[in-house]
Amino acid sequence: MSERTELLVPGPAEALGALLDVPVPDLDGGEGLPLLWHWLYLLDRPAQADLGPDGHPVRNTVVAPPAPGRRRMWAGGRVRTRGTLRCGEPATRHSTVLSTQDKQGRSGLLTFVVVGHRIEQGGQVVVEEEQDIVYRPLGGATTSEDGPVVPAAPDEWSIAVTPALLFRFSALTFNAHRIHYDRDYARDVEGYPGLLTHGPLQVLAMAEAARARGSHGGAHFEYRLVAPLFDHQGLIVRADSQTTSVRDVFGRQTATGTLRSSR
């Protein structure tokens, strides 16, 4: 288990607003952080010596790789908000591994890890979260099935995915995983056809699309990352009152989400 406490300040939220060109609440005036914006705060900041060849920490971390040479992927998760996180006040995150399970897959041994986070502020639990992480064997080509471009519809939000966008999001979330900014590593070591678009970036985009349609806090949000998304494939988001999804510019779905009231 690990615990981290810090004073929440507006800077990271303002940076995300600039990155995605989305409205930032009046944080100085007492408005709270939107759904999932806690991912910019209470971050682990491992020592450089604790990073492995892929940029992820291999020691002194809540989620340590089960063995050397395993590919780490964020597969999904669940977030329940019980209140509003506010800037100008300290908050504490408690993190622990809830379960670990090995399964045999087509590519070899898969290790599924569920990580739990609980964020408290003002003596109350504000956010409860479970993140699903999977470790796969390293190696093996990952194909990119591109086809005719499917233009974004009027009710969809198209985000241009560029190396600069991925690098800035990595910096904002203190994520050193090289698949998001080191094209040579992503291609030559992990077998990807391009830079990988962060799973959390896709999920945040889904939550923001829902917010733009009037959905706010006090929610239970469940999401899955169903296929890898690479930088040349774009990012197109759709949301209605309860569901949201991400697809690439060729129409292939890469992430899904379901939002409902937590009451």
Beta-carbon contacts of 210 under 8 Å, excluding residues fewer than 6 positions away, are 35, 239, 244, 257, 259
2-261 has which CATH code?
A: 3.10.129.10
The answer to whether the CB of 138 falls within 8 A of the CB of 189 is: yes
Q: Distance between CA atoms of 128 and 222, rounded to whole angstroms?
A: 12
The answer to whether the CB of 56 falls within 8 A of the CB of 72 is: yes
Provide the whole-model pTM: 0.93
Q: Which residue has the tokens 């993140």?
A: 131
Which pLDDT belongs to residue 181? 97
Which pLDDT belongs to residue 249? 97
The answer to whether the CB of 115 falls within 8 A of the CB of 75 is: no
Q: Distance between CA atoms of 128 and 118, rounded to whole angstroms?
A: 5
Which pLDDT belongs to residue 142? 64
The model's pLDDT over 17-27, given as tens digits with 9 standing for 90+, comes to 999 999 999 99
Domain extents for the chain?
2-261
Phi and psi at residue 67, to the nearest 5°: -165, 160
Count the neighbouring beta carbons within 10 Å of the beta carbon of residue 213. Answer: 13
| The token pair that represents 206 in the structure block | 């889904």
With 0-12 / 13-18 / 19 or more C-beta atoms within 10 angstroms meaning exposed / middle / buried, residue 203 is buried
The model's pLDDT over 171-209, given as tens digits with 9 standing for 90+, comes to 999 999 999 999 999 999 989 999 999 999 999 999 999
Identify the H or E element spanning 254.
Answer: strand 253-261
Q: Which residues of the chain have pLDDT under 70?
A: 139-145, 216-218, 262-263
Which pLDDT belongs to residue 105? 78
Which has the closest alpha carbon to 1: 45, 41, 61, 52?
Answer: 61
Which pLDDT belongs to residue 45? 92
Which pLDDT belongs to residue 70? 81
